[in-house]
Structure 1
Amino acid sequence: MFLRIPARRALPRLTAPFLQTTTTPLRAYSSSSPAAANTAATAAPTTPQLPKPTDLDEHESALWDLLTAELSPTELLVKDVSGGCGSMYSIDITSASFRGLGILKQQRLVNSVLGERVKGWHGVQLRTKAA
């Protein structure tokens, strides 16, 4: 018994008009002058200061102040998860400083801000997110 396989037929070539390139240059439109647009683009955006939680102990408070000063987070949670001995912390941080960075680079940035403090800890739970 032989199995008959039908011959392959060539499909017609389709051209998509949306794949064609245009020669019209794109322009950025603004209601202000180009000089004002350049100065507005170089000015640093202002972020509102986060209210500091009242339930932080002295070590959590020091970490909060350090991270807030260096990274200007929009959301920040610092918690001692070691039972109060200060050997392990959980840090959840959302910051505009993380835009365009991968997760590993975001966490390295936080670790560089924390510096020598991390070396004395047993561990850290670090969650970062770009704002």
Structure 2
Amino acid sequence: MFKAVSTISRRLLSTAATLNEGEQKVLAKLKATFTSAPVIEAEDISGGCGTMYRIRVETADFAGKLKVQQHKLVTECLRDDIKKWHGVVIETKAV
């Protein structure tokens, strides 16, 4: 339960100043690719070592696309980074 509360509070209080370097880098790439997305989040869920991320993107660019197609667009954007990670959780939504 503590971890869940910690994650929720971090999400609510996150600003560019509290994001680590890896999160900032991932966010910059996603924002450059999905320029009209109202929601883009990147969270290092590996405990800060940068080997596993949770990515969330909500954008109209996903309209009419299957979930697997949406995820492919995200993974193409982060291809070079994902090669260095142990894992990634991707959440997408068409808005």
TM-score (norm 2): 0.79
Larger RCO (alpha carbons 8 Å, 6+ apart): 2
Q: What is the aligned-residue identity percentage?
A: 36
AA of the residue aligned to 1:102: L
Indicate the residue corresponding to 1:105 in structure 2: 69
Distance in 1, Cα, partners of 2:31 & 2:59: 10
Indicate the residue corresponding to 1:82 in structure 2: 46
Correspondences of 1:61-72 after superposition (within 5 Å): 61-72=24-35
AA of the residue aligned to 2:63: R
Higher Cα Rg: structure 1 or 2?
A: 1
Query: Where does structure 1 differ by over 3 angstroms across 4 or more consecutive aligned residues?
Result: none
1:128 aligns with 2:89: no
AA of the residue aligned to 1:96: A
Consecutive unaligned residues of structure 2, counting only runs of 5 or more, are 1-13
Q: CA deviation at 1:74?
A: 0.9
Correspondences of 1:1-131 after superposition (within 5 Å): 53-54=15-16, 55-72=18-35, 73-131=37-95
Give CA deviations for 1:17-43 in whole Å, capped at 9, x if unaligned: xxxxxxxxxxxxxxxxxxxxxxxxxxx
CA root-mean-square deviation = 1.3
**Higher helix residue share:** 2
Give CA deviations for 1:44-63 in whole Å, capped at 9, x if unaligned: xxxxxxxx932211110011
For these two proteins, the number of residue pairs brought into alignment is: 80
TM-score (norm 1): 0.58
Give CA deviations for 1:61-80 in whole Å, capped at 9, x if unaligned: 01101100111221111100
